[in-house]
């Protein structure tokens, strides 16, 4: 089989690349080892936080905005909503990473934000049991985005635009030649001009020598102690990132659906450098839940600290916490190293991957995510 471009791995980044390439009329083939929108990689569960004033790097603000623009367009066609902009809180002491980072994104990338004093925060968000020094930066363009439905929508739209998709097909080798690349699976081989590899936690298996470290990171959902309470509805309890004085922190958001409130703990991950094929998919009550439950008990007294639902997931860390997105070889473009904050950017990253592959000028500076920077 022959194609212009093969996209390997149809999770968040790869599915978006497939869609953006198909939207340009490129003859593109997507290959995914599992089904589309599956629970074995990094892009499952219902939602992810969507932020515009991104504390991780001001260069991410234009990428989040591009995701929003593309998902809005996609939603006009499908009738679905891919982002709900309810605003978001960056909480912590004045020198904490969420507060400093959101202010930096506001100053350097023009993300509109509002500072909230401690007293304003207490008044508007009584769910929080704050430390005396806690303040917040409100990111009004932020909110939540939807994980599995979005991956499926990217792939469905790509197929509607002419892309060919092989689910349940594992790429076993990528042979880079001088004039072409051959992507091999147990059932088919595809020869193409270029390949985009976006295999998440498995990226280093197909592209060796990348400094990536997958980490086991479960997803957790909680409910209010009082089932009739409205305090943890999404409109009253929008998405947040909260750093404590000891450097650990919580992130999450409320929900309108059955009051399931998503909360995770930063700085508590016990397994780094895992082999994604050997991921421990059991949940361990002591190690996985105890620390998060204790933190929730202190932080949100009206939330029941016993999780009602949980699922294992993976983050793939890069050395500097930024993605690896760009050209790695004449015929090879890669996207990975999500470092736990990639979903909100995936449509914008897909657009960058399409631009890099088709040799258009990228819509924003990509030097901070250049995969050759290491």
Ligand X SMILES: Cc1cc2nc3c(=O)[nH]c(=O)nc-3n(C[C@H](O)[C@H](O)[C@H](O)COP(=O)(O)OP(=O)(O)OC[C@H]3O[C@@H](n4cnc5c(N)ncnc54)[C@H](O)[C@@H]3O)c2cc1C
- Could you list the residues that contact ligand X (CB under 6 A)? 8-14, 31-34, 41-43, 48-49, 170-171, 198-200, 202, 206, 217, 219, 264, 313-315, 336, 338, 340-344
Q: Which residue shows structure tokens 């976006």?
A: 198
Smaller CB separation from ligand X, 224 or 340: 340
Q: How far is the CB of 108 from ligand X (least distance, A)?
A: 20
Angle at 365 between CA 364 and CA 366, to 5 degrees: 110
Cα–Cα distance for residue pair 239/232, rounded to 1 Å? 11
Complex with ligand X: residue 99 or 334, whichever CB lies closer:
334
Asked whether the beta carbons of 92 and 249 are under 8 A apart, the reply is yes
Q: Rounded to the nearest whole angstrom, what is the least distance from the CB of residue 43 to ligand X in the complex? A: 3
Which lies closer to ligand X via its Cβ, residue 213 or residue 229? 213
β-partners of residue 264 are: 251
- C-alpha to C-alpha distance for 261 and 307, rounded to whole angstroms: 9
Pairing of strands 213-216, 314-317: antiparallel
Q: How far is the CB of 242 from ligand X (least distance, A)?
A: 13
Query: For residues 70 and 313, which CB has a smaller minimum distance to ligand X in the complex?
Result: 313
Please state the closest distance from residue 82 (CB atom) to ligand X, in A: 13
CB 253 within 8 A of CB 240: yes
Instruction: State the minimum distance, in angstroms, from the CB of residue 2 to ligand X.
Output: 19
Give whichever of 115 and 148 is closer to ligand X, judged by the CB atom: 148
Q: Any idea what DSSP says for residue 289?
A: I
Residues 6+ apart with CB under 8 A from 11: 32, 41, 42, 43, 151, 198, 199, 200
Nearer to ligand X, 101 or 264 (CB): 264
- Can you spell out the DSSP letters for 252-268? EE--SSTT-EEEEEET-
Residue 104 CB, nearest distance to ligand X (Å)? Answer: 18
Residue nearest ligand X by beta-carbon distance: 11
């Amino acid at each position: 089989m022959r194609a212009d471009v093969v996209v390997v791995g149809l999770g968040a980044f790869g599915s978006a690349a497939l869609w953006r390439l198909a939207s340009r009329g490129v003859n593109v083939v997507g290959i995914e080892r599992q089904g589309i929108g599956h629970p074995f990689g990094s892009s499952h569960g219902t939602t992810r936080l969507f932020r515009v004033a991104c504390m991780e790097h001001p260069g991410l603000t234009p990428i989040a905005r591009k995701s929003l623009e593309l998902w809005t367009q996609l939603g006009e066609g499908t009738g679905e909503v891919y982002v709900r902009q309810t605003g978001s809180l960056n909480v912590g002491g004045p020198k904490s990473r969420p507060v400093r980072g959101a202010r930096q994104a506001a100053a350097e990338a023009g993300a509109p934000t509002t500072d909230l004093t401690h007293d304003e925060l207490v008044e508007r968000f009584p769910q929080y049991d704050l430390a005396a020094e806690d303040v917040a930066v409100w990111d009004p363009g932020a909110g939540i985005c939807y994980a599995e439905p979005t991956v499926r929508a990217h792939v469905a739209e790509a197929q509607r635009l002419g892309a060919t998709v092989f689910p349940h097909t594992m790429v076993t080798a990528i042979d880079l030649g001088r004039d072409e690349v051959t992507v091999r699976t147990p059932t088919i081989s595809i020869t193409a001009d270029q390949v985009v590899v976006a295999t998440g936690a498995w990226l280093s298996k197909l592209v060796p020598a990348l400094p990536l470290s997958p980490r086991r990171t479960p997803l957790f959902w909680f409910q209010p102690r009082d089932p009739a309470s409205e305090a943890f509805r999404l409109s009253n309890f929008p998405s947040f990132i909260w750093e404590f004085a000891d450097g650990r922190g919580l992130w999450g958001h409320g929900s309108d659906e059955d009051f399931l409130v998503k909360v995770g703990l930063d700085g508590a991950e016990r397994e780094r450098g895992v082999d994604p094929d050997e991921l421990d998919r059991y949940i361990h009550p002591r190690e996985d839940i105890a620390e998060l439950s204790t933190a929730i008990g202190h932080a949100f007294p009206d939330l029941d600290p016993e999780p009602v639902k949980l699922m294992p997931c993976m983050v793939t860390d890069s050395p500097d916490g930024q993605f690896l997105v760009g050209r790695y070889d004449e015929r090879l473009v890669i996207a990975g190293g999500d470092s736990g904050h990639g979903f909100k950017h995936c449509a914008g990253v897909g657009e960058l991957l399409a631009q890099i592959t088709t040799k258009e000028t990228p819509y924003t500076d990509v030097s901070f995510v250049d995969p050759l920077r290491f």
